[in-house]
Structure 1
Amino acid sequence: MQAAYRKHYGLDAVRKSLAHFLVGKTFRMLASVTVLLLLARVLPVEQYAVYIAFQALIALLDVLTSIGVQKVLFRYLPELRATGNNRAAYRLLFYGMLFRLLVVSLLFLAALPLLPWVARVFNVEEWIWLLPWYLLVGYLRLGAFWLSQCLESLLWQKESQYSMAVGGAVAALVMVYLAVVGELTLERVVLAEGLGESVALSLLVLSWVRRWRQDQQRAVGDSGWWRENRQRAVRYGLWSYLLSQSSLLYGSAPNRLLAAHALPVSELAILGVADSFMNLARKWVPTRMLMSMVRPLAMARFAATGDFQDVTRLSDFVFRINLILLGLPVAILTVAGPELLAWITAGHYPEAGYLLMGFLLVLATQGMRDLLELMVQALEKNPILLWTNLLQSASLLIAVVLLPVVGLWGLVISNLAGTLAANAIVIARLRGLGYRLGWRLDLTAWIGLHCALSIAVGLAVEKGMGSPSMAVVCVVLTYAALLLLKPPLSRDETQVVTSLMRRRLVARPAEPKSTPSLGAVQD
Structure 2
Amino acid sequence: MSAPPARKNYYSASAARRGLLQFALGKIVSAVLGLAFLALSVRLLAPQSYGVYITLLAGAELFYLVTGLGLSTVAQRYVAEYRLKAVAQDFTSFLRRQLRRRVYLSLAALALLLLAWEPAMSATGLGLGRSWMLPVGLLLLGWSGYCFLEEVMGACLLQGYSQTLAALRNVVRLLVVWYGAHQPSGLTLELMVWAEALVTLASWLTAELLVMRWARRAPSAEGAVADFEAPDMDAVARRFYVVQLAGQAYGINITKMLVMRLLGAAQAASFGVAQSIADIVRNYLPAHLLAGWVRPIMVARYVKNRDLGEVALVVNLVLKVNLLGLLPLAAAFLVAGDELGAWLSNGHYPKLGALLSVMMLGLVLQSLHLLLTMVALTLESARASLRATFAACLALPVLVLLVWQMGIMGAALAMLVTELIWISVAWYTLAGQGHRLHLDLLGWAKIAAAAIGGAGLGWWCKSSGLGGPGAPGTILAALAALGLGFAALVWILRPQREGEVLLVRQLLKGGNNKS
Please say whether Structure 1 and Structure 2 have the same fold, judged by a TM-score greater than 0.5. Answer: yes
Q: Which residue of 2 aligns with 1:516?
A: none
Note if contact 2:88-2:216 (Cα within 8 Å) is conserved in structure 1: no
Gaps in structure 1 of 5+ consecutive residues? 510-523
CA distance in 1, matches of 2:318, 2:401: 35
CA distance in 2, matches of 1:92, 1:307: 28
Which one of 195, 199, 202 corresponds to residue 196 of structure 1? 199
Q: Following TM superposition, by how much is the alpha carbon of 1:319 offset from its aligned partner in structure 2, in angstroms? A: 0.8
Q: Following TM superposition, by how much is the alpha carbon of 1:471 offset from its aligned partner in structure 2, in angstroms? A: 1.5
Note if contact 2:392-2:418 (Cα within 8 Å) is conserved in structure 1: yes
CA distance in 1, matches of 2:435, 2:407: 41
Structure-to-structure mapping, 1:332-411, within 5 angstroms: 332-411=332-411
Q: Which amino acid aligns with 2:217?
A: Q
Q: Which residue of 1 aligns with 2:143?
A: 141
Which one of 80, 96, 99 corresponds to residue 97 of structure 1? 99
Q: Which residue of 2 aligns with 1:213?
A: 216
SS in 1 for 2:349: coil
Which one of 471, 475, 480 corresponds to residue 482 of structure 2? 475
Note if contact 1:167-1:196 (Cα within 8 Å) is conserved in structure 2: yes
CA offsets, 1:322-376, max 9 Å, x none?
1111012101111122122111111110122211211111111111111111111
Q: Following TM superposition, by how much is the alpha carbon of 1:144 offset from its aligned partner in structure 2, in angstroms? A: 1.3
Structure-to-structure mapping, 1:177-326, within 5 angstroms: 177-181=179-183, 183-217=186-220, 221-226=224-229, 229-230=230-231, 232-284=232-284, 289-326=289-326
- Worse-matched range after superposition: 394-403 or 411-420: 394-403
CA distance in 2, matches of 1:304, 1:361: 35
Alpha-carbon spacing, 1:26–1:131, altered in 2? closer, same or farther (3 Å): farther
CA distance in 2, matches of 1:336, 1:274: 14
The alignment status of 1:431 with 2:437, answered yes or no, reads no
Q: Which residue of 2 aligns with 1:170?
A: 172
Note if contact 2:326-2:364 (Cα within 8 Å) is conserved in structure 1: yes
Structure-to-structure mapping, 1:455-494, within 5 angstroms: 455-465=455-465, 466=469, 467-494=474-501
- Worse-matched range after superposition: 160-169 or 296-305: 160-169
Q: Which amino acid aligns with 2:95?
A: L
Q: Which amino acid aligns with 2:477?
A: M
Note if contact 1:5-1:300 (Cα within 8 Å) is conserved in structure 2: no
CA distance in 2, matches of 1:459, 1:505: 46
Q: Following TM superposition, by how much is the alpha carbon of 1:122 offset from its aligned partner in structure 2, in angstroms? A: 2.9
CA distance in 2, matches of 1:355, 1:219: 49
Structure-to-structure mapping, 1:24-43, within 5 angstroms: 24-43=26-45
Alpha-carbon spacing, 1:309–1:500, altered in 2? closer, same or farther (3 Å): closer
CA offsets, 1:67-121, max 9 Å, x none?
1022123212222333464343322211112112111211111111222112223
CA distance in 2, matches of 1:5, 1:432: 40
Alpha-carbon spacing, 1:242–1:94, altered in 2? closer, same or farther (3 Å): same
Q: Which residue of 2 aligns with 1:46?
A: 48
Q: Which residue of 1 aligns with 2:513?
A: 507
CA distance in 2, matches of 1:497, 1:221: 29
CA distance in 1, matches of 2:294, 2:140: 27
Q: Which residue of 2 aligns with 1:12?
A: 14
Q: Which amino acid aligns with 1:305?
A: N
Q: Which residue of 1 aligns with 2:118?
A: 116
Alpha-carbon spacing, 1:180–1:300, altered in 2? closer, same or farther (3 Å): same
Q: Following TM superposition, by how much is the alpha carbon of 1:5 offset from its aligned partner in structure 2, in angstroms? A: 10
SS in 1 for 2:464: helix
Note if contact 1:250-1:415 (Cα within 8 Å) is conserved in structure 2: yes
Identity %: 25
Q: Which residue of 2 aligns with 1:517?
A: none
Gaps in structure 2 of 5+ consecutive residues? 1-5
CA distance in 2, matches of 1:350, 1:117: 35
SS in 1 for 2:9: helix
Q: Following TM superposition, by how much is the alpha carbon of 1:175 offset from its aligned partner in structure 2, in angstroms? A: 1.9
CA distance in 2, matches of 1:338, 1:455: 15
Which one of 74, 78, 81 corresponds to residue 79 of structure 1? 81
Note if contact 2:395-2:417 (Cα within 8 Å) is conserved in structure 1: yes
Alpha-carbon spacing, 1:468–1:215, altered in 2? closer, same or farther (3 Å): closer
Q: Following TM superposition, by how much is the alpha carbon of 1:457 offset from its aligned partner in structure 2, in angstroms? A: 0.5
- Worse-matched range after superposition: 180-189 or 244-253: 180-189
Q: Following TM superposition, by how much is the alpha carbon of 1:213 offset from its aligned partner in structure 2, in angstroms? A: 3.2
CA distance in 1, matches of 2:222, 2:407: 58
Alpha-carbon spacing, 1:197–1:412, altered in 2? closer, same or farther (3 Å): same
SS in 2 for 1:435: coil
Note if contact 1:141-1:197 (Cα within 8 Å) is conserved in structure 2: yes
Note if contact 2:281-2:288 (Cα within 8 Å) is conserved in structure 1: no
Alpha-carbon spacing, 1:305–1:285, altered in 2? closer, same or farther (3 Å): farther
Q: Which amino acid aligns with 1:504?
A: G
CA distance in 1, matches of 2:389, 2:489: 37
Q: Following TM superposition, by how much is the alpha carbon of 1:451 offset from its aligned partner in structure 2, in angstroms? A: 0.5
Q: Which residue of 2 aligns with 1:154?
A: 156
Q: Following TM superposition, by how much is the alpha carbon of 1:165 offset from its aligned partner in structure 2, in angstroms? A: 2.3
Q: Which residue of 2 aligns with 1:512?
A: none
Alpha-carbon spacing, 1:73–1:55, altered in 2? closer, same or farther (3 Å): closer
Q: Following TM superposition, by how much is the alpha carbon of 1:288 offset from its aligned partner in structure 2, in angstroms? A: 5.3
SS in 2 for 1:8: coil
Q: Following TM superposition, by how much is the alpha carbon of 1:380 offset from its aligned partner in structure 2, in angstroms? A: 0.9
CA distance in 1, matches of 2:51, 2:262: 13
Q: How many residues align?
A: 502
Q: Which amino acid aligns with 2:260?
A: A
Which one of 106, 109, 114 corresponds to residue 107 of structure 1? 109
CA offsets, 1:140-163, max 9 Å, x none?
122112112202211122222223
**TM-score after normalising by structure 1:** 0.90
Q: Following TM superposition, by how much is the alpha carbon of 1:484 offset from its aligned partner in structure 2, in angstroms? A: 3.8
CA distance in 2, matches of 1:287, 1:374: 18
SS in 2 for 1:250: coil
Alpha-carbon spacing, 1:505–1:447, altered in 2? closer, same or farther (3 Å): farther
